[in-house]
Structure 1
């Protein structure tokens, strides 16, 4: 899931989607009237009675199809539906490959993205974001009976398994670990359970998702990072009215316990705050 922390949208993809939006006619754009200068992002959603949401549909447990071919569901999907209900409209999902999801947002094919989008300076310069609805630190995962690792400093001289494309590969190296490159979480955790590495550094959400379906894996969180990833809904720049309305909806959902309930359903822990 670390690939969501940064995505470079290709110029060709952006041009293709932008041209597609132009050729499809003004009526296909969720917020087409906002291009005139006035912020009609919220009124556009209200007038059409739907919130158009971009999501992958292939990113379990956040956005996926039940049983592989069933209805679209997931943590992000359920929260987006709850937000739409608070706005008094329905959520309409448009499944989009992640490589083109931001270009589609820029072309105003969607009102927002719900796909565990991490907030970072690069993205904040180009897009607007809601209040975060997922907050997660990085963690060191070890065997449950291993008490030799209690902090990132204690990774020095230990062996960890990390994906080369993961942000946590560098963190493990900086902590002094001997890093064994793997293809992803599944391979890394297999090596840990076999005792071939001492630890795995990854996102807490990944760990919680794994242990929810593998409760007897014999693993534990040995330490957490001070910095936490904050994931939120993404909007095109200038959708201020819609962002404010979504933020109020999220605050209401936090207050009435809905976000906690959805979070507990998918992770067995409250990752919404």
Structure 2
């Protein structure tokens, strides 16, 4: 999803702003760069709290039902289950996406749970847990469409895409003509009206939509071979804590918890 592929530039500019907010319950020791050094598992256990940065406005991953209900979502439930395995309480700190990495840098929270995609650029600056979400890009067409079964079939066709998303570029690279839209809902409207032939998006977006609406008029026509992996994100130096979180995720996979949470929000297991 496009927000997961944004750079750190905006976040870096907001370090000063986030640093003035509520601090972590654990001491953050600045490293040589001025950013918070990592935390150990023992520090988290001593505090009895795992502080977690998340948006709170990113449905179905982190949101308030009806806008005013308790914080919930796929990422929220996964992070809560991880904290339970560590024997500590989860404490969520809602933060805008543009400031979420700056908040981690400033020690405002211990980890991020917000569908952060693992990229080489991010892995050079942060530590990641084992992935808890695996997804692909998908071509969505009308259920009756038999002309499109691969990305090669998009050549000469028209797709509906947000111009700021990475899927827009994939559509162009596939030879499609692009009709600009503001998001998923508008793309599906144009598709069902027959004004475009397809739309490319993250499979999670499709699954979330189908879990809610179960629209029989659309289908996945093809998937990318490359996958997108999202993981819990930590400051460098938190190796001990990340190791414990990885074990917690392994236990949650083994006992079926991650599968259950996945199926609740997406109708299938997206954790592997």
Q: Same fold (TM over 0.5)?
A: yes
Distance in 2, Cα, partners of 1:83 & 1:95: 18
Instruction: Map Cα deviations across residues 131-163 of structure 1 (whole Å, 9 max, x no partner).
Output: 000000000000111010000001111110000
Q: Does 1:75 align with 2:74?
A: yes
What secondary structure sits across from 2:56 in the alignment? coil
**1:16 corresponds to which residue?**
17
| Counterpart contact for 1:30–1:44, Cα < 8 Å | no
- What residue ranges of structure 1 are gaps of 5+ in the alignment? none
Which of the residues 12, 22, 32 maps onto 2:27?
A: 32
Tell me the number of residue pairs that the alignment of Structure 1 and Structure 2 aligns: 267
Gaps of at least 5 residues in structure 2 are none
Q: How many Å separate the matches in 2 of 1:7 and 1:63?
A: 20
What is the distance in 1 between the residues matched to 2:30 and 2:99? 21
Conserved? CA contact 1:57–1:65, under 8 Å: yes
1:1-273 aligned at under 5 Å gives the runs 1-10=1-10, 11-18=12-19, 20=20, 28-32=23-27, 34-35=29-30, 40-273=39-272
**Residue 9 of structure 1 contacts residue 102 of structure 1 at CA under 8 Å; is this kept in 2?**
no
Kept in 2, the 8 Å contact 1:61–1:75? The answer is: yes
Normalised to the residue count of structure 2, the TM-score between the two structures is 0.94
How far residue 194 of structure 1 moved from its aligned partner, in angstroms, is 0.9
How far is the alpha carbon of 1:44 from its aligned partner? 1.2
Q: CA deviation at 1:8?
A: 2.7
Cα deviation per residue 1:108-146 (whole Å; 9 max; x = unaligned)? 110000001101111111111110000000000001110
Scaled by the length of structure 1, the TM-score of the pair is 0.93
- The superposition leaves residues 52-79 of structure 1 with CA deviations (integer Å, 9 ceiling, x where unpaired) of 0011100000000122101000000000
- Check the 8 A contact 2:211/2:266 in 1, yes or no: yes
Q: Which has the higher helix share?
A: 1
Q: Decide whether aligned partners of structure 1 residues 30 and 228 sit closer, same or farther in structure 2, where only a CA change above 3 A counts.
A: farther
Distance change in 2, residues 1:241/1:51 (3 Å): same
Q: 1:86 to 1:157 in 2, by over 3 A?
A: same
Root mean square deviation of aligned Cα: 1.7
Task: Give the C-alpha shift of residue 6 in structure 1.
Answer: 2.3
In the TM superposition, what is the alpha-carbon distance from 1:218 to its structure 2 partner?
1.0
